[in-house]
Structure 1
Amino acid sequence: MYLREAKLSDMPTVGRIGARAFIDDPLFAVVEPGRYTYYKDYEAGWVRRVREKALKPEARVILAVDEGTEEITGFAIWVREGDDPAAYHWRNEGGILKRIEFKLLSIEDKITILFSPKSRSEDPAALSRLDEAIEQAAMGTWSQEGRQIRWHLHILGVDPSWHRRGIGGLLVSWGMKNGAKEGAICSLESSPAGRALYEKLGFKAVGVWAPFEGFKEKFEHVTAPMMVWQPDTAEANGAGKAKTANGNAIKDGSVNGARKGE
């Protein structure tokens, strides 16, 4: 299994994996109540959202790929937050022409969405509330001192047919290794299914995210721990290796390939 950065041509596959991986997740049960009845709409929504995130200069979509078959088995969307030199480098990687290209593609996508049929799977009010909750978390917990400079794991998805093979940990290690090199923390909001993995890797809960609090009472039980991984001080200074909670060096998170606007 190896990692590489996604190309835009990978987004349909990434979206399909996300749709399968999260179909029974409590959060998506709220925002996509019609996901079983209108599965194609639900899947198309996933493809649209991962492509939209991939077009942001601060985001990197990292893929796990099987060496034997070249099948994409999982993905992680990492977002580099902060105003430090490393964050500036990630946002501007590829130069001005690449940024213009991605901006034009983003505008093209917005026009396409405007004239596309509305998804029958989604609850627009719940999605709007979720977007607000993400912004509130960014301005609240994640804006506190010591947390602005970070790699944020926006979402981690592994194809259900490839579960329990270490793929999730490999994808998380990409952000941890970059965080260790740059002296940046890693942050995330965990799904119920993912918490054990993150704790094993050394993440610690720093709060509880309740995206639907005050929205509809029946959804207020849908919460997620907000978790942080701190890089080893020695690694941040260029020595040693990033460690898991057990003190073991994390797996190699190097990436083959480059971010391309295909």
Structure 2
Amino acid sequence: MYLREARLSDMPAVGKIGARAFIDDPLFAILEPGRNAYYEDYEGGWIQRVRKYFLKLETRVILAVDEESKDISGFAVWVREGDDPAADRWRDEGGILKRIEFKLLTIEDKITALLSPKSRSENPAALAHFDKAVEQVDATIWSQEGRHIRWHLYLLAVSPSWRKQGVGSLLTSWGMENGAKEGVICVLESSPAGKSLYERLGFKMIDVWVPFEGSKEGFEQLTAPMMVWQPGTAKANGAAEGKTANGVAIEDGSVNGARGGTGMGKAIDPL
């Protein structure tokens, strides 16, 4: 297993992995209640979602790839947030090509949205509430002094056929290694089921996010541990069972999601 950065041409395959990985996720049961009845709409939304992530200059979509088959086994969306020189360098490295692609595809998406029917899998009210909750948590918890400069794991998805084989840990280690090099924290919102994996990697819970708090739909039971990894508290490659050819450790265990989104927001997914 090895890691590589995604290309725009990878986005259909990446979106399909996300759709499969999150099909039974409690959050998407709320956001996309019609995902099973209208799977094509649901999958199409995922492809559009990961493409938008990919085109952001501060974002890196990292793929875990099987060495023999070259199949993508999972992906992580890591975002370098902050106003420090290292964050500026990551944005600059996004390059002119991403800027051109972003403008062209934004126009394409607007035309598609006008001509295409709305997704039949989505719950618009729940999506709107969730987007506001994302803005609020960004403006409060993650904007505090000492946290605004960070690597943020927005989304992590593992193909169902590759679960429990260390793919989640491998993808998480990419951000941790960069955080260690730059001396900045790594943060994420985990599912309750994924919390123990991140704790084994050295993350600590600092709070619990309740994205539907106060919602009229009554989804307050959905919670997400908010977790932080500090450089120096644990090795970026964890207590590994083995390593890939590029030196990134693989630990037994994986997780399907951390922070993902309805557009550029967050999502929670169990093991």
Map Cα deviations across residues 18-46 of structure 1 (whole Å, 9 max, x no partner).
11111111111110111111111111111
How large is the RMSD of aligned CA atoms in angstroms? 2.2
Gapped runs of 5+ residues in structure 2? 250-271
**Among 225, 228, 236, which residue is 1:242 paired with?**
236
| In structure 2, C-alpha distance between the alignment counterparts of 1:185 and 1:108, rounded to whole Å | 36
TM-score, normalised relative to structure 2: 0.85
| In structure 2, C-alpha distance between the alignment counterparts of 1:114 and 1:55, rounded to whole Å | 21
| In structure 2, C-alpha distance between the alignment counterparts of 1:94 and 1:154, rounded to whole Å | 18
| In structure 2, C-alpha distance between the alignment counterparts of 1:97 and 1:11, rounded to whole Å | 16
Change (3 A) 1:172 1:50: same
Shift, 1:217, TM fit: 4.9
Shift, 1:250, TM fit: 8.9
The answer to whether the 8 Å contact 1:78/1:153 transfers is yes
- The match for 1:186 is 186
The answer to whether the 8 Å contact 1:210/1:224 transfers is yes
The residue matched to 1:112 in structure 2 has which SS?
helix
The residue matched to 2:157 in structure 1 has which SS?
strand
Aligned-pair identity in percent equals: 69
Map Cα deviations across residues 98-130 of structure 1 (whole Å, 9 max, x no partner).
423333323322332332211100001111111
- The match for 1:5 is 5
The answer to whether the 8 Å contact 1:25/1:191 transfers is no
Q: What is the number of equivalent residue pairs in this alignment?
A: 247
The residue matched to 1:218 in structure 2 has which SS?
coil
Shift, 1:194, TM fit: 1.8
| In structure 1, C-alpha distance between the alignment counterparts of 2:51 and 2:85, rounded to whole Å | 26
Q: Tell me which amino acid in the other structure corresponds to 2:169.
A: G
- The match for 1:73 is 73
The answer to whether the 8 Å contact 1:3/1:62 transfers is yes
Gapped runs of 5+ residues in structure 1? 236-240, 255-262
Change (3 A) 1:115 1:77: same
| In structure 2, C-alpha distance between the alignment counterparts of 1:203 and 1:80, rounded to whole Å | 18
Map Cα deviations across residues 171-195 of structure 1 (whole Å, 9 max, x no partner).
0000000011111111111123321
Q: Tell me which amino acid in the other structure corresponds to 2:126.
A: A
The answer to whether the 8 Å contact 1:64/1:75 transfers is yes
Q: Tell me which amino acid in the other structure corresponds to 2:131.
A: D
Please state if 1:125 is matched with 2:141: no
- The match for 1:258 is none
The aligned runs of 1:53-202 (5 Å cut-off) are 53-202=53-202
